[in-house]
Structure 1
């Protein structure tokens, strides 16, 4: 606690024409599977450390029962500039019996030796055990840790493209379970975006995000960054899901150091 933290690379759309990644979704029975291709880079300013984080797949379950829920599946890794690597596996509920949201994993030091194991449920309580100790200790209690309050500007002060303002009508209709109105509002927004895109193409204009810039991975970057990316790729759930770069927040604190 008390550390300065900034997020650097976030895999979001739109993607440059040469960028192959982003989220990919598909229907699987009564679920929607979302493959999360990409990574986040987390910078700690005090102490000065960097972490590359890859993501598990997402499943939106029980679409047609009226009680949809989110489940994570596959593997994720956290690669540190210190040389330590955490490998996590999100375990889906078995078909006939068992529980949702289980997680297991391990932490290895810079020499590649396993130092800790991790078990539990990511949405409730997880524990870690030092290898050879046999003593399980609390890692994180999600149920006892309140979510951080989300702070946004009043809708009337937001830009027309900010999420709460742009999609407010859809959200309101969904809360009222007026799905036809929600779908109509969604279509109206998407048609407007298609029209704006067509107009830009006619004028020869290229759209660019206001807050993020795409930064391609460089062959000339330092050995530490290359090593971290290679390790993260090796433990990615898709294997090669790191793409060719990442989105950089233009006001990231680490750029100002």
Structure 2
């Protein structure tokens, strides 16, 4: 009953990206200062090339032209074409724009992960969060939480792109150790926003993936606009927030592609006042600045208590200071560990990343049809079938576009099923996870047990004793007008309705159903990859009418798109 077989091209994503971003961002209209990888002055030839790119950016290529870019048979290749001139002729019109949302890229640009799965990747460094929680000094906790945020960049060296999630796509992950559980949902397509909620005994982590990009011909700027929240229930429910630095993908067409992270990582403890600021350096004339980080940890009075430095891909060093600012001790907080499995596949996926895609027959019974693991285009790519992966990707994107148009024609507004937007006086807005997903999962497990003679399925599970529910801020109110009020330099993205009665669509998908509510499959095909369900008819779009306040989740009919 695959969601992705039903949502069966080209992207129907926005014609623009969020306004009000910092200088040099995808929407400010300012071009980042061009430098070579080593920061050396540009030659006359390079300056002419930059000027040519600037004129291309100002040409304001028509959206429809961009949507019609045809990669032809090249799209089904295993790797990007060696003829870079041919590739440039197809994408040169994207200079100054966000190519990730304006064009359907061939699968050879991708890795067999979705953005939702990638959101779980920081949990590879779960032990640093556990170390932070074990500290009684809030400054030490800030030190290790900052180290956690730096260490995750050691995974962000891969140059392949994860698949964009479909609206309503989900992903769950519970490690075999059972020490935490993670759930992700794609809650918006314009702008693209994915949320990831991780619950554990001693912490609750929410990550918001909101990425915007801008193409400059030979490089791609990547801007992260999402907020991240961490709560520590065992320490007075301390509340931490941070936003991650930007990135540049160099040598898109010529030479070896590489990724550079730059900008400031700022972590704040909103409960007791500690803070951290770490600078990610751009590559300069001297090799020593490549992948370099340096910063400081301050206590609640603003006094620097630790200095940190290192390389985000290798290690983090800390220097403790006394009240006079003198060095007390120096030690390594974190050092990258090589993963031999990264060398065994072309995407450099180590043991943790491969576990995200693990799919046993029992898990396939438990997972909802919206789970990223079940995406056929992703699975075909994982099995090396680029030709069919590309075709399936196009079908999914075309079908997603059709469904969007049908919603717009009916005046339907999409609402996430598992997260609710709320207004927040401090951050402008928040997303609140309702935990309904885990209740639904438990019901599916019980149903499977009944079918198998009360035998418990062999799947990762988390005992309720290992989960703590954090309290939602009492001052927040549900924003019934479906407004997202953003803070700082980001767009005030507001979605309002023009009529008093709004038709709301919830994301749980299905196809035509029989009188008894069972999904009708028109064809069942077995392949070496998995059981794939194929539908020969278009699914019916269903919706629930709501008043200003959305209906309770247990009142929402199943099968809504």
* TM-score above 0.5: yes
* Structure 2 match to 1:125: 315
How do 1:20-169 and structure 2 match up within 5 A? Answer: 22-48=210-236, 49-64=238-253, 68-80=257-269, 81-94=271-284, 97-98=287-288, 100-131=290-321, 132-133=326-327, 135-143=329-337, 150=356, 154-155=363-364, 157-166=366-375, 168-169=376-377
- Out of 364, 380, 405, the position equivalent to 1:198 is 405
* Structure 2 match to 1:11: 208
Q: For each residue in 1:208-235, what CA deviation from the matched residue of structure 2 results, as whole angstroms up to 9, or x when unmatched?
A: 22222222223xxxxxxx4xx5xxxxxx
The CA distance in 2 between the partners of 1:176 and 1:191, in whole Å, is 23
Larger Rg: 2
Asked whether 1:246 is paired with 2:430, we answer: yes
Secondary structure at the residue paired with 2:393? helix
Q: 1:99 to 1:188 in 2, by over 3 A?
A: farther
The CA distance in 1 between the partners of 2:227 and 2:278, in whole Å, is 15
Answer yes or no: is the 8 Å Cα contact 1:76–1:88 preserved in 2.
Answer: yes
Answer yes or no: is the 8 Å Cα contact 1:45–1:254 preserved in 2.
Answer: yes
Secondary structure at the residue paired with 1:254? coil
Secondary structure at the residue paired with 1:253? coil
Of 27-36 and 82-91, more deviation after overlay is shown by 27-36
* Structure 2 match to 1:241: none
Answer yes or no: is the 8 Å Cα contact 1:23–1:37 preserved in 2.
Answer: yes
Q: 1:98 to 1:63 in 2, by over 3 A?
A: farther
Answer yes or no: is the 8 Å Cα contact 1:77–1:87 preserved in 2.
Answer: yes
Asked whether 1:187 is paired with 2:394, we answer: yes
Answer yes or no: is the 8 Å Cα contact 2:380–2:388 preserved in 1.
Answer: no
Give 1:176 deviation, angstroms: 2.7
Answer yes or no: is the 8 Å Cα contact 2:218–2:254 preserved in 1.
Answer: no
Give 1:86 deviation, angstroms: 0.5
Secondary structure at the residue paired with 1:195? helix
> Which consecutive residues of structure 1, in runs of 5 or more, have no partner in the other structure?
13-21, 219-225, 230-243
- Out of 471, 475, 496, the position equivalent to 1:255 is 471
Residue correspondences, number: 222
Give 1:119 deviation, angstroms: 0.3
Give 1:78 deviation, angstroms: 0.8
* Structure 1 match to 2:537: none
The CA distance in 1 between the partners of 2:204 and 2:333, in whole Å, is 22
Secondary structure at the residue paired with 2:284? coil
The structure in which a higher percent of residues are strand is: 1
The one of the two structures with greater contact order (alpha-carbon pairs below 8 A, sep at least 6) is 1
Q: For each residue in 1:153-179, what CA deviation from the matched residue of structure 2 results, as whole angstroms up to 9, or x when unmatched?
A: 63464333322222x42453376383x
Asked whether 1:214 is paired with 2:421, we answer: yes
Q: CA RMSD in A?
A: 3.2
> Which consecutive residues of structure 2, in runs of 5 or more, have no partner in the other structure?
1-129, 134-201, 340-349, 436-467, 474-561
Give 1:43 deviation, angstroms: 0.5
The structure in which a higher percent of residues are helix is: 2
Give 1:61 deviation, angstroms: 3.3
The CA distance in 1 between the partners of 2:367 and 2:212, in whole Å, is 29
Answer yes or no: is the 8 Å Cα contact 2:423–2:430 preserved in 1.
Answer: yes
